[in-house]
Amino acid sequence: MDINNGVIIGGATGYKPERVEIFLKSLNLAQFKGKVILLVYESDLAEYERFYPPSAFGFELIYRISRIGLARRVRWYRTFKPLINRLFERLYRTNRHKKAELLKKFAYPHVSRFFEFLQCLEQLPETEFVMLTDTRDVYFQQHPFRQIRNGLYLGIENPAVTLAQDSYSTGWIRDVYGEKVLSEIGSNPICCAGVTLGDYQSVRDYLHTMLNEFLDLPYTVMAKSNYDQGIHNRLLYANRFARAIRCLPQSSVISTVGLFNYTDLTFNSAHELLLTDGSKATVIHQYDRHKDWEERVRGQFL
């Protein structure tokens, strides 16, 4: 296995180039030599290319024009959204192809990005490893694929906090699946949909599972809000993801730290996050929830 035969696909739509600088610079320092695909709006492409030319990093940086979320901004849709969504549901309830096209255009970006993730991935069938990721609040201390084997690596948040204790999670799951499903899975820890990685086949299967669920649910539900993480958790705890590996934040490749108390985390003298075994953490997500930490990271990379 070649850990640099990998692709990292990240959404940067709506962000100025400066917002992903820490993500890119830390990945470069981690000696990643594969491909990075950034989803950007066409209106921002020239600015990104000036800010980060192809030769800026040791990895191959690829920009892909994205249209996620753009159709939601047009006035006629914003004015008549509930009526339009009900009409689409009535017209295309059984037409999965048309429903997918509409969700790409009109769903919240957190949902529609999954369609673009899959499109990117299926153009790179020889890739061994894949990471789907947020960009604004992620940085790297080590090569993201250095410890990866076959499987789907999913980032668990603070295991002391359950789905039922989190207002966002309860709202998403209740809205999409109802109170019964929430009661069935609510005692489990939150699994964040912002960072997912693994071998090519596992990640591809994950995307197909997520997208099939999007298309099985009513269009009016999927167009209503950013329900991707609620669906992600429902499918995980229903054992619908093949080869799933739950990554605890203090002992795995993904450290999702937003729900921790800052004082409960351990750092070395260089202020690198350490796992419970004393080794350096690899992929760090949601560090910006801790302002002192964010300032240190900004000072290191900017």
- Of the chain, the end-to-end C-alpha distance in Å amounts to 33
Please tell me the predicted confidence (pLDDT) of residue 93.
87
| Greatest C-alpha distance within the chain | 61
* SS3 at position 149: coil
Please tell me the predicted confidence (pLDDT) of residue 69.
82
How much of the chain exceeds pLDDT 70, in percent? 100
Taking the C-alpha atoms of 53, 58, 59 and 61 in order, what is their torsion angle to the nearest 10 degrees? 0
Q: Residue 201 has what DSSP assignment?
A: H
d(CA 289, CA 77): 33
Fold that domain 6-301 belongs to in CATH? Spore Coat Polysaccharide Biosynthesis Protein SpsA; Chain A (3.90.550)
Q: Residue 205 has what DSSP assignment?
A: H
Please tell me the predicted confidence (pLDDT) of residue 216.
97
Rounded to two decimals, what is the model's pTM? Answer: 0.95
Where the chain has pLDDT below 70, the residues are: none
d(CA 171, CA 166): 9
Query: Is residue 228 within 8 Å of residue 167, measured between CB atoms?
Result: no
Residues ≥6 apart with Cβ < 8 Å to 291: none
Please tell me the predicted confidence (pLDDT) of residue 245.
98
Please tell me the predicted confidence (pLDDT) of residue 212.
98
Please tell me the predicted confidence (pLDDT) of residue 72.
81
Write the single-letter amino acid at 91: L
CB atoms within 10 A of CB 162: 17
